[in-house]
Chains A and B, each alone.
Chain A
Amino acid sequence: MSVSKTPNGFELDDSGRRVVVDPVTRIEGHMRCEVNVDQDNIIRNAVSTGTMWRGLEVILKGRDPRDAWAFTQRICGVCTGTHALTSVRAVENALGIQIPENANSIRNIMQLTLQAHDHLVHFYHLHALDWVNPVNALKADPKATSELQKQASPHHPKSSPGYFRDVQNRIKRFIESGQLGPFKNGYWTNPAYLLPPEADLMAVTHYLEALDFQKEIMKIRAILGGKDPHPNWLVGGVPCPINVDGVGSVGGLNMVNLNQISGIIDQTKTFIDNVYIPDLLAVARFYKGWLYGGGISGMNVLSYGDIPDHANDYSAGNLMMPRGAIIDGNLKQVHEVDLTDPDEIQEQVPHSWYSYPDGVTGLHPWDGITEPHYALGAKAKGSRTHIEQIDETAKYSWIKAPRWRGHAMEVGPLARYVIGYAQGDKEITEQIDFVLKTLDVPVTALFSTLGRTAARGLEAAWAADKMRYFMDKLLANIKAGDSATANVANWDPSTWPKEAKGVGFTEAPRGALGHWIRIKDTRIDNYQCVVPTTWNGSPRDAEGNIGAFEASLMNTKVERADEPVEILRTLHSFDPCLACSTHVMSEDGEELTKVKVR
Chain B
Amino acid sequence: MTETFYEVMRRQGITRRSFLKYCSLTAAALGLGPAFVPRIAHAMETKPRIPILWLHGLECTCCSESFIRSAHPLAKDVVLSMISLDYDDTIMAAAGHQAEAIITETIEKYDGNYILAVEGNPPLNEDGMYCIIGGRPFLDQLTHAAAHAKAVISWGSCASYGCVQAAKPNPTQAVPVHKVVKDKPIIKVPGCPPIAEVMTAVVTYILTFERFPELDRQGRPKMFYSQRIHDKCYRRPHFDAGQFVEHWDDDSARKGYCLYKMGCKGPTTYNACSTIRWNAGTSFPIQAGHGCIGCSEDGFWDKGGFYNRLTAINQFGIEGNADEVGMAAAGAVGAATAAHLAVSAVKRAQHKGGQE
A interface residue numbers (CB < 8 A to B): 20-30, 32, 51-56, 58-59, 63-64, 66-67, 70-71, 74-78, 80, 121, 125-126, 129, 135-136, 138, 170, 174-189, 208, 211-212, 214-215, 218-219, 221-232, 234, 236-243, 246-252, 257, 260, 372, 374, 382, 384-388, 398, 483-486, 488, 491, 563-564, 568, 579, 586, 589-590, 592-593, 595-596
Contact = CB atoms under 8 A, between A and B. Distances in A.
A386 B136 contact: yes
B145 to A, nearest CB: 14
A26 B89 CA distance: 6
Contacts of B136: 385-387
Interface stretch (B70-78, B179-187, B217-225, B337-345): B70-78
Interface of B: 5, 23, 26, 29-32, 36, 39-41, 43-44, 48-49, 51, 56, 58-66, 68-71, 74-76, 79-80, 83-86, 88-102, 123-138, 140, 163-165, 167-174, 192-193, 195-196, 234-235, 247-249, 251, 253-257, 273, 278-280, 282-290, 293, 295, 301, 305-307
A208 B31 contact: no
Contacts of B130: 52-54, 374, 398
Contact of A25 (B61, B99, B286): B99
B68 A22 contact: no
B62 A77 contact: yes
Contact of B249 (A27, A178, A227, A485): A485
A429 B100 CA distance: 44
A228 B279 contact: yes
B200 to A, nearest CB: 12
Contacts of B31: 135-136, 188-189
Contacts of A382: 135
A190 B70 CA distance: 34
Given A67-B306, A188-B29, A385-B140, 4 more contacts: A22-B135, A126-B91, A180-B26, A226-B287
11 contacts: A23-B99, A25-B89, A26-B90, A59-B301, A64-B305, A74-B192, A75-B60, A77-B60, A215-B69, A251-B253, A485-B249
A564 B97 CA distance: 10
10 closest pairs, A vs B, by CB?
A: A251-B256, A77-B62, A226-B285, A186-B93, A226-B288, A248-B255, A55-B171, A239-B290, A232-B290, A222-B279
B51 A236 contact: no
Contact of B94 (A25, A175, A246): A25
A223 B282 contact: yes
Contact of A222 (B137, B234, B282): B282
A589 B171 contact: yes
A224 B288 contact: yes
A246 B249 CA distance: 13
A24 B253 contact: no
B169 A23 contact: no
A593 to B, nearest CB: 5
A215 B132 contact: no
A28 B58 CA distance: 11
B132 A229 contact: no
A246 to B, nearest CB: 6
Nearest to B125: A595
A21 B135 CA distance: 10
Contacts of A223: 282-283, 288
A356 B350 CA distance: 52
B279 A388 contact: no
Contacts of A52: 58, 130-132
A593 B137 contact: no
A372 B171 CA distance: 10
B110 to A, nearest CB: 10
Which residue among A136, A184, A222 has the maximum number of chain B CB atoms within 10 Å of its CB? Answer: A184
A592 to B, nearest CB: 4
Given A54-B172, A252-B253, A491-B248, A25 B62 contact: no
Contacts of B58: 52, 54, 579
A228 B192 contact: no
B88 A177 contact: no
A240 B132 contact: no
B278 A228 contact: yes
A182 B79 contact: yes
B41 to A, nearest CB: 8
Contact of A232 (B196, B251, B255, B288): B288
Contacts of A21: 95-96
Given A59-B169, A175-B30, A182 B92 contact: yes
Given A229-B62, A248-B255, A385 B96 contact: no
Given A491-B248, A579-B60, A219 B279 contact: yes
B99 A239 contact: no
Nearest to B60: A77
A398 B167 CA distance: 20
B275 to A, nearest CB: 14
A260 B254 CA distance: 19
Contacts of A126: 90-91
Contacts of A374: 126, 129-130
Contacts of A251: 235, 253-257, 287, 289
B125 A228 contact: no
A568 B172 CA distance: 29
Nearest to B300: A70
A320 to B, nearest CB: 25
A99 B229 CA distance: 30
A56 B56 contact: no
Contacts of B39: 176
Contact of B62 (A74, A136, A181): A74
Contact of B174 (A54, A230, A236): A54
B60 A76 contact: yes
Given A28-B90, A71-B301, A181-B84, A212 B65 contact: no
Nearest to B168: A59
Contact of B293 (A70, A181, A260, A589): A70
Nearest to A215: B69
B249 A237 contact: yes
A188 B295 CA distance: 41
B22 to A, nearest CB: 8
B249 A241 contact: yes
Nearest to B89: A25
Contacts of B257: 248, 251
